[in-house]
């Protein structure tokens, strides 16, 4: 008998498995939180270095400074987003489980 698993909605469906097991739900995502915090740090450094390069022409021209400033801003935004999710998960908000803290 042929069973099409693509349209099955049972709990024992092999396609409905998640990447997280029961043992990993209780584990703190330390590496992911460290990555999120380091994104904030690299973003701040990128903004500072890019601003210094743009305004003082240290180490390059204005275009290189603007590139590093924009790159630092993107890293800062991503780091803030994932750190905020980790903080809300740590505080126990229902909409933010610890399994959502995985920026990689």
Model pTM above 0.85: no
Nearest CA-CA partner of 84 in 13, 36, 25: 36
Q: Quick one: average pLDDT of 15-20?
A: 53
Q: What is the pLDDT of residues 31-82, one digit of tens each?
A: 888 888 999 999 999 999 999 999 887 777 889 999 999 999 999 999 999 8
Q: 104 and 68 in contact (C-beta within 8 Å)?
A: no
- Confidence check: pLDDT of 98 > 90: no
**With contact defined as beta carbons under 8 Å apart, do 86 and 36 qualify?**
yes
Residue 102 confidence (pLDDT)? 66
pLDDT of residue 19: 52
Helices (H), 1-104: 22-25, 30-56, 62-91
């Amino acid at each position: 008998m042929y069973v099409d698993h693509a349209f099955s909605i049972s709990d024992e469906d092999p396609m409905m498995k998640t990447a997280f097991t029961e043992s990993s739900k209780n584990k703190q995502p330390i590496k992911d939180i460290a990555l999120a915090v380091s994104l904030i740090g690299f973003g701040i450094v990128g903004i500072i270095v890019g601003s210094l390069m743009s305004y003082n022409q240290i180490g390059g021209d204005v275009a290189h400074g603007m590139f590093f400033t924009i790159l630092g801003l993107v890293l800062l935004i991503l780091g803030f987003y994932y750190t905020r999710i980790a903080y809300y998960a740590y505080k126990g908000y229902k909409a933010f489980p610890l399994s959502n803290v995985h920026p990689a």
